[in-house]
Amino acid sequence: MATFSPAFLDELRERLTLSEIIGKRLKLTRAGREFKGCCPFHNEKTPSFYVNDDKKFFHCFGCGAHGDVIGFTMRHDGQSFPEAIENLASQAGMSVPKDTPVERERYDREKQLINLLERATVFFEDQLREPAGREARSYLLGRGLSDEAQRRFRLGYAPTDAQALIRKLTAEGFTLPDMLAVGLIKKAEDRPDHYSFFRNRVIFPVADRRGQTVAFGGRVMGEGEPKYLNSPDHALFHKGKLLYGLSRARGASAQGQPLIVVEGYMDVIALVEAGYIGALAPLGTALTEDQLTLLWKLLPPESARDPQRDYSPILCFDGDNAGIRAAARGVERALPLLTPTQTARVAYLPAGEDPDSLLKASGRGAMQAILDQAKPMVDVLWDLALAGRRLQTPEERATATKALRQKVSAIRDESLKKLYQDEVDKRLAALFHWTPPTAQKRPQNDRKTYSKDGKNTTFSPSISPLSRRQPSPAQALRERVLLALMLNHPSLFQDFGDDLASIGFSTPHFEALRQQLVHYFTAIPHETLDAAALYRHLSLGDGAKGAPRGLTDVLSEATYMHAGFARPDRSIEQARQGWKSIWNKYLQEQLQIDLQAAGRLWHEDPSDLNLSRLMSLRQQMEGLAQESDDQVAGDGDKDLAHTV
Ligand SMILES: [Zn+2]
């Protein structure tokens, strides 16, 4: 490591004006012979951070931060000592003395490559403004990125012409071996020439923590594989050790912004545009240990943290399958590294959404709601270990307990591990005293048909006991309406009897009535279906045990005020439309529960089987939503149907 003579350091401090250097990073106002501002190292509203140019130091009366220009640069910009010196020397117009010829050479070499990468960035930026880049530009505009935003993120375009970059950089005096060294070009296998690594792609420059471009990400225009391509690793770039957005995110904590890890370039850009400057993304891989450590280094030191605030980075992943898998891997990666001051939270986006699409469709409020719901590590761990498990028998509980313990044991910090263990034990004890309501029984064959009309997709859902909760009020209302429809219009049974037979209601007296209805209908010839006979049978006949309460409850204003189409005097056609609409919503809600369970199962065990189950459920969900839209489009009684 370089050492610097005291004389050199003194001269450096002498040549720089402290308030000028600090004034570039935060707002300072004059206060007598000093300057003051809000401290960048702790969270405050009234300034207690003072800068004294005569004495050449800064001091914060709030958190005690104190130092000179070098210390400020190191701490504020997250630079090492030699980096800070290097940086400040260039601002002071001084050249840094180098220890050895070898170091000098390495330093010059690095400078040269950084310069080359910077010129390539400019080339790509220029190409985006050229006619060749028109399509790329309109693609970016189409994704909501204004000209100004394109410039801010230094977006560019790599033209289809595989020689254009080489010609340009050669003309500027750069050599092919250097271009090869940083992965800008490749050598042709069958010919003696070279060609550009990125062709016909939108270019995202990737900067190191000092803001210097060290690599590029390229998104293909139109169809083509791979969709995203990153520079290969080289002397200045190791994709597992860098995060996209790093240089900007360094200031996030000091400004009260959370660090948010998302999946892709576009997500980072969308978040920064929405004001979340702490957005970062790994570079096409799952989050590595190095990247997690890098994240934690961006946080203020413990002494400068506001104890009311949760600083832990939020790992935020797309709701799609790749996203769920990445989140699970990120958590596995993080567990061993957790300490009381180094932890993380996890936020899941709605299925099919990423931060970019969510912000566009629903705005900042929707994103903030997702971030506010970020789960602490202990909850994430709990979900991962118990997803999709049955916990009915002692053996099943023992297995679940073991799985949880195993996860907890991955934590290396002993005191934290102990606290996790205590918490998990407490939750297990509470969980095992939990008894499922009887009405949560599944139908006997445990197979459902979610879609009629020929599609007839069946599956065997794996139901976690955790996923079955008390029925929601909406669910209970739907059960009530379905029963009223069947009671007042028994001929519906011909078409929808299978629906009614295939489910179990969650409200006990509704479930009793459902079973009686199914028994009655299957026992009598269909042509004699008659509402009055049915009512007599249920209220007076052999089947009357326990029914009257359900009957009078169901056939009441409490039902009809929400669903007029269920009234006895409505036409059979109105009743049919009503059934379809309510049934669809009922299935959507059930399916949503199964989807969540399947999602957790997939976290736990990302096997092909679990993946195909999850995807099949998603498809069914989309199918139902589509059917539901179609119904609304052609539904005369939609106001009423919508209430339920
Ligand atoms: Zn302070």
For residue 305, the CA-to-ligand 1 centroid distance in Å is 10
Longest dimension (CA), the chain: 107
For residue 257, the CA-to-ligand 1 centroid distance in Å is 17
For residue 368, the CA-to-ligand 1 centroid distance in Å is 27
For residue 64, the CA-to-ligand 1 centroid distance in Å is 6
Ranges of residues in the chain whose predicted pLDDT is under 50: 434-469, 542-544, 546-547, 634-644
Question: What tokens appear for 175 in the block?
Answer: 């050599």
pLDDT in the model for residue 592: 81
Which H, E and C letters describe 268-316, residue by residue?
HHHHHHCCCCCEEECCCCCCCHHHHHHHHHCCCCHHHCCCCCCCCCEEE
For residue 58, the CA-to-ligand 1 centroid distance in Å is 10
What are the boundaries of each domain within the chain?
6-92, 102-237, 255-432, 448-643
Contact call for residues 388 and 464 (beta carbons, < 8 A): yes
Other beta carbons within 10 angstroms of residue 106's beta carbon come to 13
Instruction: Please tell me the distance from the alpha carbon of residue 374 to that of residue 317, in angstroms, as a whole number.
Output: 11
For residue 44, the CA-to-ligand 1 centroid distance in Å is 8
Instruction: Please tell me the distance from the alpha carbon of residue 578 to that of residue 636, in angstroms, as a whole number.
Output: 10
In what helix (H) or strand (E) does residue 601 lie, and over which residues does it extend?
helix 572-604
For residue 60, the CA-to-ligand 1 centroid distance in Å is 5
For residue 421, the CA-to-ligand 1 centroid distance in Å is 36
The helix/strand/coil state of 368 is helix
For residue 17, the CA-to-ligand 1 centroid distance in Å is 21
For residue 297, the CA-to-ligand 1 centroid distance in Å is 18
Question: What tokens appear for 464 in the block?
Answer: 């976690």
Residue 237 per-residue DSSP state:
B
For residue 512, the CA-to-ligand 1 centroid distance in Å is 66
For residue 244, the CA-to-ligand 1 centroid distance in Å is 28
For residue 334, the CA-to-ligand 1 centroid distance in Å is 30
pLDDT in the model for residue 462: 29
For residue 526, the CA-to-ligand 1 centroid distance in Å is 81
pLDDT in the model for residue 387: 67
For residue 338, the CA-to-ligand 1 centroid distance in Å is 26
φ, ψ of residue 319 to 5 degrees: the values are -80, 0
Beta pairing partners, 58: 51, 67
Q: What is the pLDDT of residues 269-303, one digit of tens each?
A: 999 999 999 999 999 888 899 999 999 988 877 77
Question: What tokens appear for 595 in the block?
Answer: 């989807």
Instruction: Please tell me the distance from the alpha carbon of residue 605 to that of residue 202, in angstroms, as a whole number.
Output: 35
For residue 373, the CA-to-ligand 1 centroid distance in Å is 29
- Tokens 């061993």 belong to 336
For residue 86, the CA-to-ligand 1 centroid distance in Å is 26
For residue 37, the CA-to-ligand 1 centroid distance in Å is 10
For residue 39, the CA-to-ligand 1 centroid distance in Å is 5
For residue 41, the CA-to-ligand 1 centroid distance in Å is 5
Other beta carbons within 10 angstroms of residue 161's beta carbon come to 15
pLDDT in the model for residue 446: 36
Contact call for residues 346 and 382 (beta carbons, < 8 A): no
Q: What is the pLDDT of residues 488-547, one digit of tens each?
A: 998 888 888 888 887 778 777 788 888 888 877 777 665 566 787 777 777 765 444 544
Torsion, Cα of 493, 496, 502, 504 (10° steps): -70
Helix residue ranges, H only, 525-571: 531-540, 547-554, 557-560
For residue 282, the CA-to-ligand 1 centroid distance in Å is 31
Class of domain 6-92 (CATH, top level): alpha beta
For residue 59, the CA-to-ligand 1 centroid distance in Å is 8
Q: Which residues of 527-558 are buried (b: 16+ CB within 10 A; e: fewer)?
A: eebeeeebbebbeeeebeeebeebbebbbeee
For residue 72, the CA-to-ligand 1 centroid distance in Å is 12
For residue 300, the CA-to-ligand 1 centroid distance in Å is 11
- Burial status of residue 472 (CB atoms within 10 A of its CB: 0-12, 13-18, 19 or more): exposed
Domains 6-92 and 255-432 share a fold: no
Question: What tokens appear for 484 in the block?
Answer: 């009223």
Residue 489 per-residue DSSP state:
-
* Domain 255-432 listed as CATH 3.40.1360.10: yes
For residue 304, the CA-to-ligand 1 centroid distance in Å is 7
φ, ψ of residue 182 to 5 degrees: the values are -105, 15
Domain 102-237 maps to which CATH number in 3.40.50.920, 3.40.50.300, 3.50.50.60, 3.90.980.10? 3.90.980.10
pLDDT in the model for residue 38: 93
For residue 30, the CA-to-ligand 1 centroid distance in Å is 18
pLDDT in the model for residue 537: 74
For residue 626, the CA-to-ligand 1 centroid distance in Å is 55
The helix/strand/coil state of 524 is coil
